[in-house]
Amino acid sequence: MSKAIQAIRGMNDLLPEALSLWQRIEQAAETVLTAYGYREIRFPVIEKTELYKRSIGEVTDIVEKEMYTFEDRNGDSLTLRPEGTAGCVRAGVENGLLHNQTQRLWYAGPMFRHERPQKGRYRQFHQIGVEAFGIGTPDIDAELIFVTARLWRLLGIRGLELQINSLGTPAARARYRQVLVEYLRGQHEQLDEDSRRRLDGNPLRVLDSKHPAMQPVIAAAPSLHEHLDEESRRHFEQLCAYLEAANIPYRVNPRLVRGLDYYTRTVFEWVTTDLGAQGTVCAGGRYDGLVELLGGQSTPAAGFALGLERLAELAALQQVAGAERPPQVYVAPLGEGKIAQQGLVLAEQLRDAGLRVELHCGGGSLKSQLKRADRSGARYALLLGESELAVAQVSVKNLRADEPQQLVRMTEVPAFLCARLAGGPVQ
Ligand code: ATP
Ligand code: MG
């Protein structure tokens, strides 16, 4: 036997058992997003490297050290998408979706970042991303937060805290940047290596440092809030009023900045203390300059991305039920030839009637087939042997209740099972 090849570090297989919870989350997200008028968009997982450099910013963790970048056979530099907003905007501009109109879009799929793998932090991870284009007012910022709050409600997820902040306009941020740089220069001795480097390129990112030694420096830093321009301040107050009107509790976190360069005004995160260090389940905000930066007409925009690994982990901790839908009926043909053939036909007829049916393939004894039937999760087993076939009937066995086995005419089996399975809990 040759040596088995293993997966790449930080890239996980998602097995059927765990996926039922993912599917529940994905279905809930689709339901909620559709209820707010968002439509799905799909775009490639690979783009030109330039797209991410330009949108995310050169002096960011992602572009500096996390991207999977390679040359293809033509010598073009390509990158596996580290996040979805850039690709979504690129696709929107290229296909004329963003010009003079509002557009509510969502997408889901894998993202790739070469980070140090740990709990809640992987090299291939999955996001559901939501973007709203063409609306500059804070009502859409609030709507995006309502979408997430409703999703948590629908899933029964508790204990997420909403943190919000405003980064102001680029001009206000530039003014604040000067004040911050001055302050950080005064703290030079305390700064870690990353922060020293960021001081010149992207000083706001120092506030996003996770380095423990940096926390007191960050806590004492001047607040961006005091440097907000008048309009951003009004925008933020409006957002707060909308959240209060909808009874969504929030905390203003004046140190909240996002890892990506392109945010303006509103930023928000949903954070939990239940997942250890990787507690941000969902993060987003406004990015009014990005569409223009990527070659479109100036278009206000806001969005968020939620991390499915972290949300699924939290949902599992809180015992949220998965979307598992095992077969309802297990068809057990107890023989070959005509019997096997009748088994195939019967299973098809049951599926025509809308039931979920697993057919036993490969033969075997009654005992072994019943064992598999039990393991499949089905409520009923249909036993089809010589004697049943001779009288065009099947034996119906309830696997989940103590009930006598019953002979039912072949032609009546679909109606018989539908009547019994309808209304009952879908098992
Ligand atoms: P963090 O501060 O945790 O590194 P980030 O600011 O880099 O997060 P975003 O780019 O805003 O994260 O991504 C949005 C969400 O995607 C995060 O809140 C998180 O739930 C998830 N996420 C980001 N990176 C990873 C990763 N490497 N593994 C798993 N989930 C991730
Ligand atoms: Mg990160």
Is 24 close to ligand 1, i.e. is its CB under 6 Å away?
no
Which tens digits make up the pLDDT trace of 351-383? Answer: 999 999 999 999 999 999 999 999 999 999 999
pLDDT band at 198 (very low <50, low <70, confident <90, very high): confident
Taking the CA of residue 281 as reference, the ligand 1 atom at the shortest distance is 20
As a 3-state breakdown, the chain gives helix, strand, coil percent values, each rounded to 5, of 45, 20, 35
- Using CA atoms, how far apart are residues 378 and 364, in angstroms rounded to an integer? 18
Query: How many A from CA of 201 to the centre of ligand 2?
Result: 18
Q: What is the pLDDT of residues 22-40, one digit of tens each?
A: 999 999 999 999 999 999 9
In this predicted structure, what is the pLDDT of residue 423? 55
pLDDT at 133 over 70: yes
Across 188-202, 222-236, 248-262, the highest mean pLDDT is recorded for 222-236
Q: Find the 311 Cα to ligand 1 centroid distance in Å.
A: 11
Strands 393-398 and 380-384: antiparallel
Q: Is residue 100 pLDDT above 50, yes or no?
A: yes
Write the single-letter amino acid at 79: T
* β-sheet bridge partners, residue 74: none
Comparing 287 with 426, which gets the higher pLDDT?
287
Higher pLDDT, 176 or 93: 93
Helix (H, G, I), strand (E, B) or coil at 346: helix
What is the amino acid identity at position 276?
A: G
263 with 207: CB under 8 angstroms?
no
Look at residues 303, 298, 389 and name the one whose alpha carbon lies nearest to residue 340: 389
Q: Is the CB of 309 under 6 A from ligand 1?
A: yes
Residue 256 Cβ contacting ligand 1 at under 6 Å: no
- What's the CA-to-centroid distance between 128 and ligand 1, angstroms? 11
- The tens digit of pLDDT for each residue in 254-293 reads 888 876 667 899 999 999 999 998 999 999 999 999 999 9
Predicted pLDDT at 259: 64
Average the pLDDT over 194-215 and give the result.
85
Mutate to test the pocket of ligand 1, among 280, 281, 290, 304 (most ligand atoms within 8 A of CB): 280
Report which ligand 1 atom has the smallest distance to the Cα of 61: 7
- DSSP string computed for 123-158: SEEEEEEEEEES--SHHHHHHHHHHHHHHHHHHT--
What letters, b where the CB count within 10 A reaches 16 and e where it falls short, cover 71-82? eeeeeeebbbbb
Give CA–CA dist 23/324, Å, rounded: 8
Closest to 209 in 3D by CA, of 224, 222, 192, 221: 192
Measured from the Cα of 208, ligand 1's closest atom is 2
pLDDT value at residue 426: 43
The torsion angle over the Cα atoms of residues 115, 121, 122 and 128, rounded to 10 degrees, is -120
Q: What is the pLDDT of residue 424?
A: 47
CA 193 to centroid of ligand 2, rounded, Å: 18
Place of tokens 């951003």: 232
> What is the percent of the chain with per-residue pLDDT over 90, rounded to a whole number?
83
Sign (positive or negative) of CA dihedral 347, 348, 353, 358: positive
Convert the pLDDT of each residue in 296-354 to its tens digit: 999 999 999 999 999 999 999 999 999 989 999 999 999 999 999 999 999 999 999 99
| Nearest CA among 227, 228, 190 for reference residue 209 | 190
Region 76-80: mean pLDDT is: 98
Q: What is the distance of C-alpha 385 from the center of its chain?
A: 47
Q: What is the mean pLDDT of residues 101-110?
A: 98
Ligand 1 centroid from CA 267, angstroms? 14
Alpha helices in 253-337 (DSSP H): 290-293, 308-317
- 108 close to ligand 1 (CB < 6 Angstrom): no
113 CB less than 6 Å from ligand 1? Answer: yes
What ligand has the least distance to the C-alpha of 83? 1
The pLDDT value given to residue 173: 84
The DSSP bridge partners found for residue 40 are 106
What separation in Å is there between the alpha carbon of 284 and the centre of ligand 1? 10
Give the DSSP H/E element, type plus range, for residue 104.
strand 103-112
Closest CA to 271 of 280, 263, 262: 280
pLDDT at residue number 427: 40
The ligand 1 atom at the shortest distance from the C-alpha of residue 306 is 15
